[in-house]
Amino acid sequence: MKMEDIARMAGVSKAAVSLAFSGKPGVAPETRERILQIAQEHNYEFKPRKSVADAASKAITFLVFANSGLVVDSYYQQPFFRELIHFTEERCRALGYSLMFSTISLDKLDEGITSIAESGNSQGVILLGTNLDRMQISDISGKLALPMVVVDNCYETLPIHFVEINNMMGAYEAASHLIGLGHRHIGYISSSDRIHNFEERRRGFAYAMRERGVELDPDCLFTVEPTILVAQETLKNKLDDYLGAGKPMPSAFFCECDYIAISTVKTLAEMGLRVPDDVSVIGFDNIKEARIVTPELTTVHVEKESMAKWAVNALVQEIETGSTIRNKVSVDTQLVVRQSTRAV
């Protein structure tokens, strides 16, 4: 397969394909995603040739280590990551940098880091830390030997720039909203893949419940896949078993992310339960799809644009000044009330 074939399949010019592969500005994020997806589906590998102009250009690498959990090879198709990448690319362009993309399998971490470090194409790295633990991030930082900022995670004891979501605050606000509407029998639907964000959301939710003297029934804790937007048979079966044991349906559910919340709304509908008339549902992330589902989803807004700006600004400052001061930035959330919650 040639670049011309990918251009034809994507409905774009050959030049657009070249820009998408090189990570240079000039193509829209959604177009770049479509081109990269087609290339991946057809096992096409593109290695851009270096030139004097390329060597002199200012570039930042958006680095992702994919696994079989929440962050997979096609992570850029997931709404949260898609929006974060869009804002990151915009901020890079505003500061005179192009944004390149590198996705490496976690089981090839060492080879991937060596390849980036030896290429000399990038002045710094924005690392997606969503699915990485402390030791992995520390290892990546040491081996890259490049200015680096980690987004969507934080480990306070590492001398590295971090930009994370204030997950605890967001879940605290969500629980407070439900309790303020009169809900006392509240269910919690968690992700089967556990990451830093979800653990912090559970802490914030539990803190708000304790503060207001509301107990979370252990039987009302349910676990589902976090990246499915349709009704989940496993959740339906768990709820059927719960109701079959003679227990009352919770009047509201907090879901650890919008994907889970949207899937929950659809699952409840298949069970003949109306949202919010019978059950209220609240999510987390405020992805664009939260406005498309019926009813529109009450959720916690994550300031992805602010996260991107903080990350790029910190990285560029280190690149251009050599600053050795590291920052840990926690970006506050905001509750967005729509139609999926109501008072009891």
Q: What is the pLDDT of residues 260-269, one digit of tens each?
A: 999 999 999 9
25: left (phi over 0), alpha (psi -120 to 50) or beta: beta
Overall size of the chain counted in residues: 344
CA separation for the pair 318, 324 (Å, rounded): 7
What residue spans in the chain does CATH classification 3.40.50.2300 cover? 3-165+304-332, 167-302
The H-or-E segment that residue 151 falls in is strand 148-151
Exposure on the CB side of residue 201, measured as CA atoms within 13 A: 28
CATH for 3-165+304-332 is: 3.40.50.2300
Q: What is the pLDDT of residue 50?
A: 43
Q: Which of 8-22, 23-37, 95-109, 307-321 has the lowest mean pLDDT?
A: 23-37
Q: Is residue 343 over pLDDT 90? A: yes
Average pLDDT, stretch 78-101? 91
The residues, any chain, with a CB within 8 Å of residue 45's CB and separated by 6 or more, are 39
DSSP structure class, residue 247: P
DSSP string, 248-301: PPPSEEEESSHHHHHHHHHHHHHTT--TTTT-EEE-SB--GGGGTSSSPPBEEE
Is residue 242's pLDDT more than 90? yes
Q: Is the distance from CB of 307 to CB of 163 less than 8 angstroms?
A: yes
CA–centroid distance for 66 within its chain: 13
For range 106-130, the mean pLDDT: 84
Q: What is the pLDDT of residue 53?
A: 41
Please state the rounded mean pLDDT for residues 173-194: 96
Query: pTM of the entire structure?
Result: 0.78
d(CA 56, CA 182): 61
Cα distance between residue 20 and residue 39, in whole Å: 11
Could you tell me the two tokens for 342?
């109501």
The arithmetic mean of pLDDT across residues 28-48, rounded, is 75
- Residue 99 has a pLDDT of 92
Instruction: Tell me the β-bridge partners of 336.
Output: 299
What are the tokens at 284?
């987390």
For residues 6-38, b (16+ Cβ closer than 10 Å) or e, as one string? Answer: bbebbebeeebbbbbbbbbeebebebbbbbbeb
For the chain, the average pLDDT equals: 88
Instruction: Please give the full DSSP string across 126-142, using - where no structure is assigned.
Output: EEE-TT--HHHHHHHHH
pLDDT confidence of residue 54:
43
User: Which of 224, 333, 211, 206 minimizes the C-alpha distance to 268?
Assistant: 224
Residues 198 and 225 sit within 8 Å (Cβ to Cβ): no
Q: So what's the pLDDT on residue 52?
A: 39
Residue for token pair 């994370």: 164
* pLDDT given at position 121: 80
pLDDT of amino acid 65? 86
Cis? peptide before 250, omega within 30° of 0: no
- pLDDT above 70 covers a percentage of the chain that reads 91
CA 299 to chain centre: 15
Confidence (pLDDT) at 41? 79
pLDDT tens digits for 196-235? Answer: 999 999 999 999 999 999 988 899 999 998 877 788 899 9
What integer is the mean pLDDT of 308-331? 94
**In this predicted structure, what is the pLDDT of residue 47?**
55
What's the CA angle centered on 318, arms 317 and 322, to 5 degrees? 120
Average pLDDT score over residue span 120-145: 90
What single DSSP character describes residue 49?
A: P
Does domain 167-302 fall under CATH 3.30.200.20? My reply is: no
Q: What is the pLDDT of residue 36?
A: 84
Mean pLDDT of 322-338: 95
pLDDT at 35 > cutoff 90 = no
Give how far the C-alpha of residue 294 lies from the chain's centroid of Cα atoms, to the nearest Å. Answer: 23
More confident residue, 227 or 277: 277
3-class SS at 149? Answer: strand
How high is the pLDDT of residue 127? 95
Residue 189 identity: I
Question: If you average pLDDT over residues 229-242, what whole number do you get?
Answer: 91
Is 165 within 8 Å of 333 (Cβ atoms)?
yes
* SS3 category, 94: helix
Token pair in block for residue 108: 């090839």
Q: Could you tell me which residue, 214 or 119, shows the higher pLDDT?
A: 214
pLDDT classification of 117: cutoffs 50, 70, 90: confident
The CA-atom distances, in angstroms, between 192 and each of 99, 120, 189, 228 are 32, 39, 10, 12
Percentage with pLDDT > 90 across the chain: 63
